[in-house]
């Protein structure tokens, strides 16, 4: 189990339901650039990027896809090469054998069941081989059909510190967040927390003195 930040939320700052909107508004003003870091030009490239991003950085994925997406433009093109060639082309993203297998399975299913198009709903996306709920959440949110809130390590830590959840498990954290965060903000909420987590609310040393939501945060150290 990763480190918990629940116990840091000790200050009295009012109920989460009254703080959530001002927190989102302040973070949105601070990070107008809060969006997905992966580079893609269409839903198929989005899906492939997110699948490749497991266990590696977005920067690394973007480096690989810069050439990958010129070579593979359709599901058929991913299936037209031997699997070893696809493995080689995505090698630098790590876990390349498993990822190549998932990509091929996904391309086959896109052609067989979805007319070669990327589906937009969570239920359909999780049917694709190698597409877990987190991947599906990211893809559906970017395609304008957010059906949940993506919980990664930053979202988990900041939600605990901000007193938006007392849960540890990402699925339970997501359950708390979807009750709290207005639906229109489900897609951008994780991006805001991720940027704030990277730039200010560091895991070991949060820079509360530079934090735009410190008066609203029960874990503030100032």
CB-nearer residue toward ligand SF4: 38 or 162: 162
Regarding 19 and contact with ligand SF4 (CB under 6 A), the answer is no
Only segment of 13-21, 106-114, 163-171, 203-211 that touches ligand SF4 (CB under 6 A): 203-211
Regarding 195 and contact with ligand SF4 (CB under 6 A), the answer is no
CB-nearer residue toward ligand SF4: 151 or 162: 162
Cα–Cα distance between 1 and 34 in angstroms, integer?
28
**Does residue 113 have an active-site annotation?**
no
Using the rule CB under 6 A, which residue among 36, 151, 155, 201 binds ligand SF4? Answer: 201
**Does residue 134 have an active-site annotation?**
yes
Q: Distance between alpha carbon 50 and the CA centroid of its chain, in Å?
A: 8
Minimum CB distance to ligand SF4, residue 206 (Å): 4
CB-nearer residue toward ligand SF4: 23 or 61: 23
Per the listing, tokens 């229109």 go with 184
CB-nearer residue toward ligand SF4: 140 or 220: 220
Q: 20 vs 35, 84, 178, 197, CA distance in Å?
A: 19, 48, 11, 16
Regarding 28 and contact with ligand SF4 (CB under 6 A), the answer is no
Minimum CB distance to ligand SF4, residue 116 (Å): 44
Q: Which of 134, 166, 176, 185 is catalytic?
A: 134
Do residues 110 and 128 make contact, with C-beta atoms less than 8 angstroms apart? Answer: yes
Regarding 38 and contact with ligand SF4 (CB under 6 A), the answer is no
Regarding 161 and contact with ligand SF4 (CB under 6 A), the answer is yes
CB-nearer residue toward ligand SF4: 150 or 201: 201
Residue among 202, 185, 200, 120 nearest 149 (CA): 185
Indicate the burial class of 134 (C-beta count within 10 angstroms; 0-12, 13-18, 19 or more): middle
Total number of residues that touch ligand SF4 (CB under 6 A): 13
Q: Give contact residues for ligand SF4 (rule: CB under 6 A).
A: 161-162, 200-201, 206-208, 211, 213-214, 217, 219-220
Question: Annotated active-site positions, please?
Answer: 134, 152
């Amino acid at each position: 189990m990763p480190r918990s930040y629940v116990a840091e939320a000790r200050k009295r700052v009012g109920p989460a339901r009254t703080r959530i909107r001002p927190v989102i508004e302040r973070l949105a003003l601070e990070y107008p650039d809060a969006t997905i870091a992966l580079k893609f030009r269409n839903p198929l490239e989005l899906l492939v990027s997110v699948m490749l991003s497991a266990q590696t950085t977005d920067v690394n994925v973007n480096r690989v896809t810069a050439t990958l997406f010129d070579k593979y433009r359709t599901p058929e093109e991913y299936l037209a090469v031997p699997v070893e060639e696809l493995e080689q082309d995505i090698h630098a993203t790590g876990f390349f054998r498993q990822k190549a297998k998932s990509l091929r399975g996904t391309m086959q299913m896109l052609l067989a069941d979805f007319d070669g198009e990327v589906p937009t709903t969570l239920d359909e996306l999780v049917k694709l081989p190698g597409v877990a709920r987190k991947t599906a959440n990211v893809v559906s949110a970017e395609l304008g059909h957010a059906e949940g809130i993506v919980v990664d390590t930053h979202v988990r830590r900041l939600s605990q510190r901000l007193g938006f959840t007392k849960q540890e498990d990402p699925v339970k954290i997501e359950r708390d967040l979807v009750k709290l965060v207005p639906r229109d903000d489900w897609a951008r909420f994780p991006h805001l927390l991720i940027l704030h987590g990277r730039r200010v609310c560091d895991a070991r040393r949060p820079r509360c003195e530079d934090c735009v939501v410190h008066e609203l945060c029960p874990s503030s150290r100032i």
